[in-house]
Amino acid sequence: MKTSFQAKVYSVDTLTTEIKKLLEMSYSDVWVEGEVSSLASPPSGHLYFTLKDSSSILKCVLFKNKKYLSASLPVEGERILTRGRISVYTARGDVQMICSYIEAAGEGQLRRQFDALKAKLLAEGLFEQSHKQPVPERPQQIALVTSSHGAVLHDIISTLKRRYPLVHLKVYPAAVQGDKAKTEIIEALELAIRETPQVIILARGGGSLEDLQVFNDEDVARAVFTSPIPVVSAIGHETDFVITDFVADLRAPTPTAAATLITPDIEETLSALRQYHSILDSQIQNKLNAEQQSLDFAAQRLKHPRDRLSIQESELQKLSLRLNAAYQRKLEHVQRNLEGIRTRLHSRSPENQLNAQGFALDKLSGRLNLSIVNRLKKEQAMLGQHKATLQAFNPLQTLARGYSILQNEDGDIIRRSGQVQKGEDVQARLHEGILGLEVKTQSK
C-alpha cells in the first residue's frame, strides 16, 4: 500500500526509550498503594514484586541500595504504600515503578501527622540545640521509663551491669503502646522528675510507625521538652525517628546504645585510674628524691657540734674579756672619784666638814662595794649560763648517754661505712675509756 506522505518509522528501542523519557518526566515522584504479589528476591539483593488492586497490576522493583531507607519491606499478600518514579524496562517493554521508599499501608496518614507536628515544634524552637541539657558523664542515679515487660528492660540492665555497675537504676514502668501509653508515660516522667535522678532514659523497642505513635504525640513531646532532668530518647531501631528524639536532650539509636552513651566503661575508668596512680607515684618519687637531695645539701652545710662549741667558747672568752675590761674601767673611775674626794676633803680642814665628808665617803664606799658585789654576782650568773650552754653542746655529754665516736688508726672520725674496710682496726671512744675494734661486716 502506498501513502501520499513519508511516515516516521520508529525502531522498537527508540520508541520504548522515548516512552521511558516521557513517563519518567511526567511521573518522577508518585505514591502508589496496592497489594503485594509475585514477590521475588534474587541473589542480587534487589526485590521484584507486583502491586495489584481489583482491576490492574503494576510491576515494581526496589533496588538493594534503597532497602535501608524504607520503613518496611514488601511482604507477599500485604498492602503497602510506596513512593518512586514510573519508568520502562526497555529490554522487555514493561512499564514498572522504581521504588525509593516503602511503608505499610495505613502509615501514610500517620506519616503526614508526624511531618505536621515536627514542622510545628520546629517552628516553636523546641528542637534548637540551645535548649539541650548536658548529660552527666558519670551519672550515679538513672531513671528508666519503659515497659516492665520485654527485652528493652533486660538489655539496659545487662548493659549497665557490664559497663558501669556503680550506677543505681530505678525503673518507672509505663505502657509504650496502646490507649494507656500516653497517660502512663507522662505520669512516669513526672514521678521520675520529682525523685530527681541525674538522667532519664525513655526507651522502647522497634516497631511499625503505628506501634511507635505514642512517641509522636504532642503532649508526650512537650513533657520530655519541659523536663528539668536531662532526657535520653531511645525509641526503636537505629533508622526509626520519632518526635521525642528531636525534643529530647540526647537521642540514642537503640535502648542498648542509650545505656552505653551515658555511662563510662568501668574497665576504661579503672585503666585511667591505674595510669593516674602511676603518674602520681612517679611524681611523689621525684619529689622525695628532690627533697632527699636538698636534705643532703643541708647536711653538708650543717656544722659539727665540736665546731659550734669552739665558736661558743670563743664568744665566751670575748665576753669575759669585755667584762673584765668593764670592771677595770669602773674600778678606775671609782678610784679617781675617791681620789678627788680625798683631795677636796684635804682642802677643807674644819673638823665638822671632815666628819661630814668622811661619813659621805663611807656611805659612797658602801654603795660602791654593794654595786661591785651585785655586778660580780650578775656577771657570775651570766658566766654560769654560758657554761651551762657550752656543757649542753659538749660531745662528752652525748657520750655519757651511751653514744660513741669511731676513729680510724689515723684518728679521723668515721661517719660512713665506706671509710673503712673489712678487717681494719678502729677505735671507739666512750664516755670513759677507749675500745679497740676490728671491722667484721660492712654494709651501706
Residues 178 and 255 in one domain: yes
For residues 364 and 357, what is the distance between their CA atoms, to the nearest angstrom?
10
- Which pTM was predicted? 0.45
Q: What span, in angstroms and rounded, lies between the C-alpha atoms of 280 and 286?
A: 10
Single residue among 243, 264, 285 that ends a domain in this structure = 264
The total number of structural domains in the chain stands at: 4
Q: Are residues 165 and 219 in the same domain?
A: yes
Asked, for residue 271, whether it belongs to a domain, the answer is: no
Contact call for residues 235 and 216 (beta carbons, < 8 A): no
The owner of cell 566503661 is: 265
pLDDT of residue 146: 95
d(CA 353, CA 341): 12
Q: Which helix (H) or strand (E) holds 349?
A: none
Of 264, 291, 318, which one is at a domain's C-terminal end?
A: 264
Maximum pairwise Cα distance, the chain: 196
Q: Is residue 236 part of a domain?
A: yes
Give the domain range for residue 58.
12-105
- Residue 298 domain-assigned? no
Do 45 and 182 share a domain, yes or no? no
Cell 678502729: give the residue: 426
Both 43 and 123 in one domain: the answer is: no
Question: Is residue 101 in some structural domain?
Answer: yes
In a domain, 387, yes or no: yes
- The number of CA neighbours under 13 Å toward the Cβ of 295 is 6
Rounded CA-CA distance 295/274 in Å is: 31
269: in domain = no
| pLDDT given at position 348 | 66
pLDDT means per 10 residues, the chain with 444 residues, are 68 90 91 92 93 93 90 87 92 92 76 87 94 92 92 92 91 93 95 96 87 92 96 88 94 92 82 81 81 73 74 84 87 86 71 73 86 88 83 72 83 83 85 84 74
Same domain, 228 and 342: no
Close Cβ partners of 229 (under 8 Å, ≥ 6 residues apart): 133, 143, 192, 193, 196, 197, 198, 199, 200
Neighbours of 346 (CB within 10 A): 10
Residue 380 lies inside a defined structural domain of this protein: yes
My answer on whether 156 and 249 are in the same domain is: yes
Sheet holding 434-438, edge to edge: 405-407, 425-429, 434-438
Q: Are 222 and 335 in a shared domain?
A: no
| Residue 4 pLDDT | 55
| Res 352: pLDDT | 65
- Please, are residues 209 and 102 in contact by the beta-carbon 8 Å criterion? no
* The pLDDT of residue 325: 87
For residues 62 and 179, membership in a common domain is answered with: no
One domain for residues 122 and 254: yes
Whole-angstrom distance, CA of residue 208 vs CA of residue 107: 9
Question: Side chain identity at 204, as an amino acid letter?
Answer: R
Stretch (H or E) spanning 97:
strand 94-104
Cell numbers at residue 227, please?
523536663
Are 78 and 31 part of one and the same domain? yes
How far is residue 280 from each of residues 267, 273, 293, 294, 365, measured CA to CA in Å? 20, 10, 20, 21, 79
At 354 the pLDDT is: 66
How confident is the model at residue 303, as a pLDDT? 66
Domain boundary among 264, 297, 324: 264
55 and 97, same domain (yes or no)? yes
Please check whether residues 28 and 82 belong to one and the same domain. yes
Q: Is the residue at 281 inside a domain?
A: no
